[in-house]
Each structure stands twice: as structure tokens, then as C-alpha cells.
Chain A
Amino acid sequence: MTVSYDNSKTIFEGIKAAGIKSVSALPETWLGLLLQRAEADPDITLIQVAKEEEAIGIAAGAYFAGEPHLLLMQNHGFLAAINGIVSLAQLYSIPLCMVIAYRGHWGEPYPWHTRGGILTEGVLRALGIPYEFARDPAQVGRQIREAWTFSQSSLSPVALLLTRDLMED
């Protein structure tokens, strides 16, 4: 299995079409091709973090600055960022548009991803974070745009989960 080149390109184009100018990320296999594009694109500011919770602070700073910002992370990174999501974003009504590689679920061959994968949806629900699954390259651009729009109108974190169907060839 390899990461889908075409769909990574489609996702990146969707991010740009949504008006995103700034991206924070922690590199991850499924996100690798996306990040290469973000890094090479002069219209996108990419900030790579050492741990995903930092990105919640960076996203808050970008929001205060009025700059459209999107967070790219793996679901285990989302789990690592929960205190920042709760006690910065939700506490202060700061929107977060999170695009999350949904590892450890249907079809997952690697044991180390499975526990976090099984828990991710339940944790999102417990935190009251609206989420959608991205499965179809024909839909993902619209889904990114809608995630962005909803994060801004609800002043809330929202999550778009990138599934295996979309990310692997």
C-alpha cells in the first residue's frame, strides 16, 4: 500500500480552494505528500510542530491575527492535543479546522495504530467536536471548505477524518 499521490494533491487543492493561507502540522505518513506540497507552495505558510498541542496555540494565534489556518495531524496527535483543544479553543470559543489522518481503523494492518484508532470517534463525540469522514476524492474539497466554514460560524473545533479509502492506493 502506498499513500495516494492523486488524492493528496486533491486534498491540497481543496485546502487552497477553501482560502487557507496557513497550515500547522506534525509530519505523518499519510500526510507526507500533502506537507511536501504545502512546503513548496509560496502562498502557504507551513509551521511544523514538535507536538500537536503546540498547533492549537499556533492556530489560536493565527485566528487572532485573522489568518485562515488549518491544522493537519494524525489522530494520535489529536489525542495528544486534547488539553489545548479543551482549555484554549473550547474555553475561549476559538475555532479550529482540524484535518486528521484517521489511522488504526478498518483495514489497519499495524497493531500500534489500533487502540487510538478505535477510540478516536468516541473521544471526538465526548468532546462535542463535530466530525465527518472523508472517503471520496470527488467530495473532499467540498468537505474541507464546509469544515472551515462551520469552524468559523460555530467558533468551535471541527474535525475532518481522512480515511484509508481516500489516503491509500
Chain B
Amino acid sequence: MKRAECIAMMYPEIEDKLVVTIMGACAQELYNLGHRENFFYLQHAMGLASSIGLGLATHLPHERIVVLDGDGSVLMNLGTLATLARYRPRNLVLVIFDNGSLLSTGGFDSHTTSGVTDLAGIARAAGIAEVAAVDSVVAFGEAVIDAFARDDLSVVVAKVAAVGPNDYGMDLALPENAFRFRRCIAARKSGGD
């Protein structure tokens, strides 16, 4: 399955949630479906999307937080899985698109390509109770709906093809995204949205 199909399938479910996505193809595919003020695109700092998610989830208990992560990024910050397990934010869903590739930086194989390294297994062993591993669009949809319905930290690891969009570009400067994301959250806190 393609990551773009997964993101398109979950888009109606996440358009009202606070979404943090990693760089490159994943960010672009979300953006192409329609930017929303409650989306933050982490275009660098690989590995920190889930840490941003933890910061949001801890301080915004009434919001639902969705992090769209990737195998290359998670491998750069495996400690985050243990930190998430320790603090167990119940309003956070971490989706890891595992394409076995550092696609956005040239398509080199990541450590998960060979099937030796199992990110869902690492997440479970880190102490996260609710971990699903899926490799079809139908199973992905079910896992994500379950995760959103559950009052617990949930991880969904989705095996996807190493393909991305043909064109890249956003009409959104990086600090502008940060300022607007913050303002959007402030408005939601005060009941303005």
C-alpha cells in the first residue's frame, strides 16, 4: 500500500485533531490533501515529531494529538518510544509509516528494509501497550479508527511502499506554520474555534 492512500483514508478523521508530521513526502502528501491550521510540518529535526507530540499531549489533555512519523525518523530517536511509554499520554496516536527507506533523502534502504528490525516490536518492548502492525489499507483504516476511539497511547506501524509525490512545495514559510499552529491552539483553548 501507499502512504498517500493511508493519509487520504485518515484525513477526515484527523482534520479536526492536532497533527504533527515529519518532513518530505509525508508532509507533502498531507499538505496536498488540504492544509489546515491545526497541522504542523516538521521539515527537519528528524526524530522529534513524536517528542513534539508528547509535549502537546501532556499540556493539552483535552485535545487529540496525531503524529505521522517514519521509520528513518523513529530510528534516529528510538528513546522517544521509552519516554512515551513512561508518560503514556492517552490522547496521543503515533502512526509510523515504515517504507524501509530514507526516501526523502535519496531512497537509501533503512534498517527496517530487510525485515530484521521490527519497529512495532521495539515499541511493544519499550512498554507501549497498544501497538498495531498493518500492511493493508483496510487493516490500516481499522487500526487507526481503533486508536482514535481508544483512551490510551497507541502506535500504528504501517508497512508502505517507498514512493512519494512527484512534486514538492508548500505556500507556507516554516516559522509561519509554527506561529499559526500556536495561534490555532490558543483559539481552540479559549473556545474560539
In the complex the two chains form, is B178's CB within 8 Å of A61's CB? no
A123 to chain B, nearest CB (A): 18
Whether A61 and B77, one on each chain, are in contact in the complex, defined by CB atoms closer than 8 angstroms, is: no
What are 16 A-to-B residue pairs whose CB atoms are below 8 Å? A48-B86, A49-B83, A50-B83, A51-B79, A53-B47, A57-B51, A60-B55, A63-B55, A64-B40, A64-B56, A65-B59, A65-B185, A66-B186, A66-B189, A67-B59, A92-B178
Do B177 and A64 touch (CB < 8 A)? no
- Is A126 among interface residues, defined by CB-CB distance under 8 A? no
Pair A94/B86 contact, Cβ less than 8 Å: no
Interface of B: prevailing SS: helix
Residue of A nearest to B56 (CB): A61
Residue contact B60 to A65, C-beta cutoff 8 Å: yes
Q: Which of A54, A65, A83, A91 contacts B51 (CB 8 A)?
A: A54
Residue of B nearest to A63 (CB): B182
**B residues 124-143 touching A (CB-CB < 8 Å):** none
The interface residues of chain B lying within 8 Å CB-to-CB of A67 are: 59
B96: Cβ under 8 A from any A Cβ: no
- Contact indicator per residue, chain A 39-54, by CB within 8 Å of chain B (1) or not (0): 0000001011111011
Q: Give A88's nearest chain B residue, CB to CB.
A: B45
Q: Which residues of chain A are within 8 angstroms of B86 by Cβ–Cβ distance?
A: 48
Q: Which B residues are CB-close (under 8 A) to A49?
A: 51, 79, 83
Given A22-B58, A84-B45: A58 and B174 within 8 A (CB)? no
Q: A22-B58, A58-B55, A84-B48 are in contact. Are A66 and B185 (CB under 8 A)?
A: yes
B50 proximal to A (CB < 8 A): yes
CB <8 Å contact, B83 and A47: yes
Q: How far is the CA of A59 from the CA of B86 in the complex (A)?
A: 17
Known contacts A45-B59, A54-B77, A61-B58, A92 near B177 by CB under 8 Å: yes
User: Closest residue to B63 on the A side, CB-wise?
Assistant: A65
